Amino acid sequence: MSHTLLALDIGGTKLAAALADQDGKLLSGASRPTDRQATADAVLDSLLQLAQQMLSGLPQEPSAAGVSFGGPVDYDRGLAVTCHHLLGWENYPVKRRVEERLGMPCLVDNDANVAAFGEAVFGAGRGHKNILYLTVSSGIGGGVIIGGEIYRGSTSLAGEIGHTIVRIGGPKCTCGRRGCLEAIASGWSIARRAKRLLAKRPGAPPIAGKPTGDVAAADVALAASQGHPLAASVMDEAAGALAFGIAAAVNILNPSLVVLGGGVAKAGDVLFVPLRRKFSELVFQPSGQTVQILPAQLEDESAIFGAVALARQAAVSR
């Protein structure tokens, strides 16, 4: 057990802990719902209690911990900058608190960067040094891997591809601006678009047999795959927006691989076929000819595996 690593995930709906070996093999894991009304101290305490219960009885403690956090992170200082889903995380010292409580070195980063790192080290990105990762779910986040390492930018905010403007004057985004990629291609925006179109076309067949107000992005994707014309048009619009944003990023970064994770990316061909076609029309061809666009291999476990990779870095640098 001398070379085990601890992975921790602080999410808006779930807290998770896992123990893994140096090669990324998960040895054990546990999770519990996040109390969204609790303080940051209480949420972290709940996660660390979960981890300590999982680790009790082991002959030796893990050599390091890696933490995935669902919000912006100041990586150099080990701080959670804020969280849009939980209370009281402004400039919260996650790294220091974990190290004090568990007595082991720790590294913390935002969930998109961590998921990107997980896919790069243990998932679809193995064998690639330069990767663009997008998580397309309720929102759209991103991570950039350059030379096999996470690229964070000057203030740890690199990879915010979800807030790239892809349509001037377009739908309003959660960030307050208009026309962001997230406002057109995320799960909530896909559902919103489908509901609005259904409301305008009372004769249109229902999606998934549901009342208009109950339609979710997964319903839209399934209906589109079954030939529902309105649902297909919504998914086509989302794919076009994603193609626009990805093409712009590929032109700048020149990665060899683009990985799409998150719930919307599970839509399959109804998303990936039009996405790849439109991407090839928009991208600068010398870059476009050498890049692949693939679904995430680790799916919902990308952040945990990325936290394992972070822990491995922390163990090496101790």
Q: Which two tokens stand for residue 85?
A: 């889903």
- pLDDT value for 115: 95
pLDDT digits (tens, 9 = 90+) for 120-150: 999 999 999 999 999 998 889 999 999 999 9
Q: Which residues contact 1 (CB under 8 A, 6 or more apart)?
A: 58, 59, 60, 62
Query: How many domains is the chain partitioned into structurally?
Result: 2
- pLDDT value for 316: 85
Q: Which residues contact 87 (CB under 8 A, 6 or more apart)?
A: 36, 37, 38, 39, 40
Is 9 in the same domain as 36? yes
Is 159 in the same domain as 283? yes
Q: Is the pTM of this model over 0.75?
A: yes
3-state SS, residue 89: coil
Q: Give 174 or 305, the one with higher predicted confidence.
A: 305
Is 180 in the same domain as 230? yes
Is 244 in the same domain as 256? yes
Point out the least confidently predicted range of 22-26, 104-108, 233-237, 271-275: 22-26
Is 185 in the same domain as 55? no
Is 230 in the same domain as 276? yes
Q: Which domain holds residue 39?
A: 5-117+300-317
Asked if residue 2 has pLDDT above 60, the reply is no
Is 194 in the same domain as 54? no
Query: Does residue 272 belong to any structural domain of this protein?
Result: yes
Query: Does residue 280 belong to any structural domain of this protein?
Result: yes
Is 192 in the same domain as 209? yes
pLDDT digits (tens, 9 = 90+) for 241-274: 999 999 999 999 999 999 999 999 999 999 999 9
- pLDDT value for 94: 96
What mean pLDDT, rounded, does the chain reach?
Answer: 93
The fraction of the chain above a pLDDT of 70, given in percent, is 99
How far, in Å, CA of 123 to CA of 133, rounded?
12
- pLDDT value for 41: 94
Query: Does residue 166 belong to any structural domain of this protein?
Result: yes
Query: Does residue 122 belong to any structural domain of this protein?
Result: no
Query: Does residue 289 belong to any structural domain of this protein?
Result: yes
How far, in Å, CA of 69 to CA of 16, rounded?
11
- pLDDT value for 248: 96
- pLDDT value for 300: 86
pLDDT digits (tens, 9 = 90+) for 82-121: 887 788 899 999 999 999 999 999 999 999 999 999 999 9
Query: Does residue 48 belong to any structural domain of this protein?
Result: yes
pLDDT mean over 228-251 = 97
Asked if residue 1 has pLDDT above 50, the reply is no
Q: Report the CATH number that the domain containing residue 92 is assigned in CATH.
A: 3.30.420.40
Query: Does residue 214 belong to any structural domain of this protein?
Result: yes
pLDDT mean over 274-288 = 94
Is 254 in the same domain as 180? yes
* CB contact at 8 A, 219 and 272: no
How far, in Å, CA of 42 to CA of 49, rounded?
10
Query: Does residue 240 belong to any structural domain of this protein?
Result: yes
Point out the least confidently predicted range of 108-117, 152-161, 183-192, 270-279: 152-161
- pLDDT value for 174: 83
Tell me, rounded to whole angstroms, the distance of Cα 120 from its chain centroid: 13
| pLDDT category of residue 318 using cuts at 50, 70 and 90 | low
Q: Which residues contact 28 (CB under 8 A, 6 or more apart)?
A: 18, 19, 54
- Select from 130, 112, 74, 141 the least CA-distant residue to 255: 130
Is 304 in the same domain as 196? no
Q: Which residues contact 179 (CB under 8 A, 6 or more apart)?
A: 165, 166, 167, 168, 169, 170, 171, 173
Is 72 in the same domain as 193? no
Is 307 in the same domain as 284? no
